[in-house]
Amino acid sequence: MKDKCVCGKEKYDFQELCWSCDEKKEIINIWEYAKDNKEVTNEKYVLCPYCGLHYGEDDLHESTTLTCDGCGKKFKLEVNYDIRYSTYQIEEELKCL
């Protein structure tokens, strides 16, 4: 069942906000927590450490220096990768046991 978000977009009954409003709320919460520091560290969003402007992550896969479109200040983006390994049993191998 779908309902309307405060912004007017459709949302599901189990959602408090639609997907885009929920993302905006999450970004604001990250910025509020980090704005007094000189860095913003999180797993999901690239935010300017001066003004909190959110950048799309699609093209940002390498560490680089960026100039904020909002405040015009330069900042360093450091991209970190965490590697996890998963292994799975093969059914043919289970038959041999």
Range 67-86 average pLDDT:
90
CA 80 to CA 24: how far, in whole Å? 23
Are 13 and 3 within 8 A, CB to CB?
A: yes
Range 77-86 average pLDDT:
86
- 0.95 exceeded by pTM: no
Range 58-86 average pLDDT:
88
Phi, psi for residue 12 in degrees, rounded to 5: -80, 155
- Full DSSP string of 23-84: HHHHHHHHHHHHTTSS----SS-EE-TTT--EE-STT--S-EEEE-TTT--EEEE-------
